[in-house]
Structure 1
Amino acid sequence: MLSVLTSFAKRDFALAYRQRAELMQPLMFFVMVITLFPLAIGPSPEILQRVSGAVVWVAAILSLLLGMERMFRDDFMDGTLEQYTLSTTPLYAIVLVKVAVHWVVHIVPLLVLSPLLALFLNMSLPMYVALIATLLLGTPVISLIGAIGVALTVGLQRSGVLVALLLIPLFIPLLIFATSAIDSASLQLPYGFQLGIMAALALFTLAAAPAAIAYSLRVSQN
């Protein structure tokens, strides 16, 4: 089964590479939000540092949701998704691979650009370390929960706005803990509690979401 899942991952990476224009849209959205925000509120370093964590996290959530719609769209349109459901490979394992590929192709570029954006927002080194830690723990939760919403609406036309409306309220607790950790880092306070809560959310979502995504995909095709 491992070789089959590896082939699925290679296929999704190849398709993402071929669709570079669509792949760049969430990343460009993320960069534009981060770069335009300081111009809107002014160049004050203190204000920028105070809101930097929230700005990065809101931009990350919105950019990930922007690229969510096509996670299962192409497979649904060409009938590949139906073949997945008939495959001997468990559907929950296939969707977990697809979510992992989605996370890699969308989050790794954000992490690569984050040092430059951190300087642009006047983030200190402890804040930057906390930002990376929260992104590594929190963005998988966004991808997994977002995949459930995408699976439920995969058969609908222009479902991106509907998915965003359904999912944004679910990410509010994650946003609160992430920004709280970054604020604690800015004050040189420990933030292990916030990271622990985010890690617990990530583990719970990793355990429960694949089965929920697989069930949602089966329901959407009936």
Structure 2
Amino acid sequence: MIALLYRDLQLAFRAGGGFGLGLAFFLIVVVLVPFAVGPQSELLARIAPGVLWIGALLACLLSLDRVLALDWEDGSLDLLATAPLPLEAIVTMKSCAHWITTALPLVVISPLLGVLLHLPGGGYLWLVISLLLGTPALSVIGTFGAALTVGLKRGGLLLSLLVLPLYVPTLIFGAEVARRGAAGLAVETPLLMLAGISAASLAVLPFASAAVLRINLR
């Protein structure tokens, strides 16, 4: 499993879908917001948690079509499906590789971008915590969507349409954790809901993704 994870990480960087693309998109979204809504510090501080979470969500969405597409194109996916390693474990490793190359750099850079949006001082820690808890769900859900659309020509748009509605609960509770943390309010309820979504996604969706892949590979 570690060898598979290392292989997927190498493929992600070689294909140009590593952390650079996601970070660049995240930065562009955050920089453009003040031009659209104005430079008022109070307004930017109020919308900062939601903007940062939307930027992170869309940045994660950019590289989803490459999670399984490269293995499908060169035939590696057929070999992986017949390997001794369960297909559920293979899908989990691919989700983990996507999280490491795309979501983790966003978590690291998010406090710096929070400064650009005048995020209140109390919100930085909760922003990072919410992203750490929520982004694994984004990667796992995205891998499920990639499994549904693998093999389809120009399936990127369909993948986005399938995945975005599933991302909404994570976005709502993740942004709410950051917003409440920035305002000094209690964060326990949205934090537990966010953790529950991630835990449920990690527990259920690898099996669903593996089942879909088995159907597509027949």
In structure 2, distance between residues paired with 1:153 and 1:123:
38
Q: Say which of 144, 147, 150 aligns to 1:148.
A: 144
Number of aligned residue pairs: give it. Answer: 217
Flag structure 1 segments of 5+ consecutive residues without an equivalent.
Answer: none
The answer to whether the 8 A contact 1:34-1:56 is kept is: yes
Deviations 1:188-216 (CA, angstroms, capped at 9, x unpaired): 11101111111111111111111111111
Q: Is 1:196–2:182 an aligned residue pair?
A: no
The answer to whether the 8 A contact 1:66-1:160 is kept is: no
In structure 1, distance between residues paired with 2:47 and 2:90:
38
In structure 2, distance between residues paired with 1:132 and 1:50:
17
Q: Which amino acid aligns with 2:17?
A: E
- Compute the displacement of 1:10 (Å): 1.3
- TM-score, normalised to structure 2's length? 0.95
In structure 2, distance between residues paired with 1:111 and 1:181:
15
Q: Say which of 141, 147, 163 aligns to 2:159.
A: 163
Aligned to 1:74: 70
Does the residue aligned with 1:125 lie in a helix, a strand or coil?
coil
Aligned to 1:173: 169
The answer to whether the 8 A contact 1:155-1:221 is kept is: no
Aligned to 2:38: 42
Deviations 1:143-162 (CA, angstroms, capped at 9, x unpaired): 11111111010010111111
Q: Which amino acid aligns with 1:81?
A: L
Deviations 1:1-26 (CA, angstroms, capped at 9, x unpaired): xxxx111111112222323x332222
The answer to whether the 8 A contact 2:130-2:191 is kept is: yes
Q: Say which of 12, 37, 44 aligns to 1:16.
A: 12
Aligned to 2:217: 221
**What is the percentage of aligned positions where both structures have the same residue?**
38
Q: Is 1:99–2:95 an aligned residue pair?
A: yes
Does the residue aligned with 1:22 lie in a helix, a strand or coil?
coil
Deviations 1:116-157 (CA, angstroms, capped at 9, x unpaired): 201001012221111111111111111111111110100101
- Compute the displacement of 1:87 (Å): 0.9
In structure 2, distance between residues paired with 1:111 and 1:182:
13
Q: Which amino acid aligns with 1:109?
A: P
In structure 1, distance between residues paired with 2:86 and 2:49:
39
- Compute the displacement of 1:187 (Å): 2.1
The answer to whether the 8 A contact 1:153-1:220 is kept is: no
- Compute the displacement of 1:112 (Å): 2.4
Q: Is 1:116–2:112 an aligned residue pair?
A: yes
Give the superposed CA RMSD.
1.2
Q: Say which of 30, 40, 43 aligns to 2:26.
A: 30
